[in-house]
Amino acid sequence: MRAVAVREGGKTAADLCIIDVPRPDVGRGHVLIRVTHAGVNRPDILQRRGLYPPPAGASPIMGLEVAGIIESIVPHPDWGDDVAWNIGDRVCALVNGGGYADYVSVDIRHLLPVPQGLSLAEAASLPEVSLTVYANLIEHGGLKAGEAVLVHGANSGIGSMTVMLGKSFGAKVITTVRGADRIDWVRALGADVVIDTTTGDFVEAVKAEGGADVILDIVAGDYVAKNILCLKPKGRLVQVGMARGNTAEIDVTRLMQKQAIITGSMLRPRSPEEKARLTSEVRARVWPLIEAGAIRPVVAKVFPFAEVGAAHEFLDSGAHSGKVVLEL
């Protein structure tokens, strides 16, 4: 089968190439998916650069989410023969690597159906952002209806899902973007407030809106101290990324005064059982919102498989709003 590899010694997008490799083994409790589309995510770029090695036991091939067709099924003896899926089903899934290839082996418990009315390309853009945002905004952040959420980089894959999920769960959604050209796009997702950080600091603007109960932060660095200033009493700051750096200096007095909580999480190192639980939550609570049209996939661009290098460059350039997808 075809799979993407990085040329020996290379780390740039131009070093990505397509090679021929054997199909993956399909263990108990797994299905083989014929991949039609794969989501392109920032960790793929870090992996290409050698900065995010695949965890032990994971495929060395890049790619953390896919959509495609079930090619074969190997039931798990302890889970019974009653597999809820059939060969030929259209599915999408979070995968622990291996998505940039014609076939990938996926834990049966991590499968999600392609939401009704969506294309396979759109479905491939959903697992990573749906699971990450549900886990961090709803579970870690404990967002409740009537509360206010702040999300930075609202034009990003994670940011756009946070806007739509936050609105769907009854929250006021305050956002920041870098540039006036992003404002209308983020408003169209349903954001109540869009702050352009290229024209001024966001802290006063968020305070003027009454502050945030939950902040989902993909940038960290100097934003952490500013985020704490934006939190309401008993607010929760949830870190899921670190575009501005992984260290921060904060005034802990502010934390104590506000009885605030700082937390964070990563999706990839979670156990298969934990990912299975999360997948089932997302299927029950997020998939109906997608099928009802309250949450829609936001695919910025679909690249042919042979142009995987261009897809990485496009994502890395920051020119996109929404998600980038490969078509195999």
Ligand X SMILES: NC(=O)c1ccc[n+]([C@@H]2O[C@H](COP(=O)([O-])OP(=O)(O)OC[C@H]3O[C@@H](n4cnc5c(N)ncnc54)[C@H](OP(=O)(O)O)[C@@H]3O)[C@@H](O)[C@H]2O)c1
Task: Name the one residue in this structure whose structure tokens are 């997808």.
Answer: 325
Q: Residue 133 to residues 37, 124, 202, 286, 293: CA-CA distances in angstroms? A: 21, 16, 22, 10, 18
Nearer to ligand X, 75 or 264 (CB): 264
Nearer to ligand X, 180 or 292 (CB): 180
Contacts by 229-233 with C-beta closer than 8 Å and gap 24+? 229/203, 229/254, 230/150, 230/202, 230/203, 230/206, 231/258, 231/260, 232/148, 232/258, 233/258, 233/259, 233/260
**Beta-sheet strands, E only, within the chain:** 2-6, 16-20, 30-40, 65-74, 90-94, 103-107, 111-113, 148-151, 172-177, 193-196, 212-217, 231-239, 261-264, 299-304, 323-327
Nearer to ligand X, 29 or 159 (CB): 159
Nearer to ligand X, 102 or 128 (CB): 128
Shortest distance in whole angstroms from residue 257 CB to ligand X: 26
Shortest distance in whole angstroms from residue 320 CB to ligand X: 6
Shortest distance in whole angstroms from residue 163 CB to ligand X: 12
Shortest distance in whole angstroms from residue 168 CB to ligand X: 18
Shortest distance in whole angstroms from residue 77 CB to ligand X: 32
Any residues with CB less than 8 A from the CB of 190 and at least 6 apart, and which?
163, 164, 167, 173
Nearer to ligand X, 41 or 227 (CB): 41
Shortest distance in whole angstroms from residue 86 CB to ligand X: 30
Nearer to ligand X, 246 or 280 (CB): 246
- Binding residues vs ligand X (CB under 6 A): 41-43, 128, 132, 152-153, 155-159, 178-179, 218-219, 240-241, 243-244, 265-267, 315, 318
Nearer to ligand X, 251 or 274 (CB): 274
Contact indicator for 18, 66 with CB cutoff of 8 Å: no
Structure tokens at 40: 């392109």
Rounded-to-integer distance, Cα 5 and Cα 48, Å: 9
Cα torsion 181, 183, 186, 187: sign? negative
Q: What is the DSSP letter of 105?
A: E
Shortest distance in whole angstroms from residue 189 CB to ligand X: 13
Contact indicator for 6, 309 with CB cutoff of 8 Å: no
Rounded-to-integer distance, Cα 87 and Cα 168, Å: 33
Shortest distance in whole angstroms from residue 156 CB to ligand X: 3
Nearer to ligand X, 65 or 213 (CB): 65
Nearer to ligand X, 43 or 211 (CB): 43
Shortest distance in whole angstroms from residue 218 CB to ligand X: 4
Q: Residue 23 to residues 100, 103, 217, 296: CA-CA distances in angstroms? A: 12, 6, 38, 33
Rounded-to-integer distance, Cα 99 and Cα 242, Å: 24
